[in-house]
Amino acid sequence: MPHLLLLDIGNTNTKIGVVRDDTILGTYSLPTSRDSTADAWGLRIVQILGLHGLRSGDVSGWVVCSVVPPVGELVRAAGERFCGCPVFFVPEDLPLPLENRYARPHEVGADRLVAGYAARSLFSSRSLIVVDFGTATTFDCIQDSAYLGGLICPGLYSSAAALASKTAKLPTIALDDVRHGPRIGQSTAESLRNGMVFGFAAMVEGLCVRLKAQLASPVEVVVTGGPAKALVEVCSGIDHYQPDLLMRGLMKTSLDNAHMLRKGVFV
């Protein structure tokens, strides 16, 4: 398979991966700007391709999952204009081999399905709980080859930002230098940081216990997303940390549908 672009368009950031065959050459993160234009997206992506010695014509397709429809349309236009190649959206254009058991299947975010499929392809436990720390914190339950549903909770960074914006004396925090135990904070920053990190760790531990009780054993917990790295150190019950889970899911979907990508056709 020639070069592909993978795009995970989230509410806060868009992650972009450059792929050759089954290898991710590099990943990049850009703000998801709803006020941007197709040209702005196209020019940024041409710059990213240049970092790998590639031109726009070297890319045969873009594979996208998006939870921000207006930005998805900008990206579609950018791909067609700047690379002259088809832009495939998952799961609308490229299907995922997961049975979607949501009561209203169309309501599930594409990122949640792609992450679930990536986890299913990587790990063999009968049941999986995928925890994605993004703008929201999502818990998604996979059993055998079915997506059962999950939970949506506040995000760590968005919760901290909300506190900082609504209070006069609470600072913006970083997640580095977190102790391995929930010590009592002795400054405002330390109190906020420890409260957020250990509070979210307790949320993950407690909710995973409750979700596991509803799933067939064995069950493993897979975590991804920006804050996940800090939480892995202090949260029990996490079996796997996969920082590039969404990219892996998009790449696996691309490989599954390589024949359609070569032809530039939709299902």
Query: Is residue 200 assigned to a domain?
Result: yes
Q: What CATH number corresponds to the domain at position 162? A: 3.30.420.40
Note the pLDDT tens digit of each residue in 223-242.
999 888 888 888 889 999 99
| Distance set, CA 53 to CA 18, 20, 27, 60, 194 (Å) | 11, 13, 15, 15, 43
Q: How far apart are CA 211 and CA 119, in angstroms?
A: 17
**65 and 135 assigned to the same domain:** no
Residue 259, pLDDT score: 74
Same domain? 107 vs 38:
no
Say yes or no to pLDDT of 7 above 60.
Answer: yes
Mean pLDDT along residues 30-35: 93
Write down the catalytic residue from 111, 132, 140, 176.
111
Q: Which of 89, 110, 144 is the last residue of a domain?
A: 89
Instruction: Return the H-helix or E-strand segment holding 130.
Output: strand 127-133
Residues 103, 44 share a domain: no
Nearest to 56 by CA among 72, 73, 39, 68: 39
Name the 3-class secondary structure at 124.
coil
Residues 78 and 150 in one domain: no
Higher-scoring residue by pLDDT: 192, 44: 44
Over residues 123-132, mean pLDDT: 98
Could you tell me the pTM of the whole model? 0.91
Read off the pLDDT of each residue in 77-95 and give the average, rounded to a whole number.
94
Share the mean pLDDT of the chain: 91
Domain encompassing residue 237: 99-247
Backbone angles phi, psi at 29, to 5 degrees: -125, 130
Residue 84 sits in the same domain as residue 104: no
Same domain, residue pair 11 and 52: yes
Residue 234 within a domain: yes
Same domain, 142 and 22: no
Confidence grade of residue 267 (pLDDT, cut at 50, 70, 90): very low
Do 131 and 11 reside in the same domain of the chain? no
E strand or H helix at 72: helix 69-78
111 given a catalytic annotation: yes
Question: Could you give the C-alpha distances from 72 to 33, 36, 89, 164, in angstroms and in order?
Answer: 11, 11, 9, 31
Q: What is the per-residue pLDDT across 146-167, written as a single tens digit (0 to 9) for each?
A: 999 999 999 998 888 888 777 7
Q: Do 217 and 154 belong to one domain?
A: yes
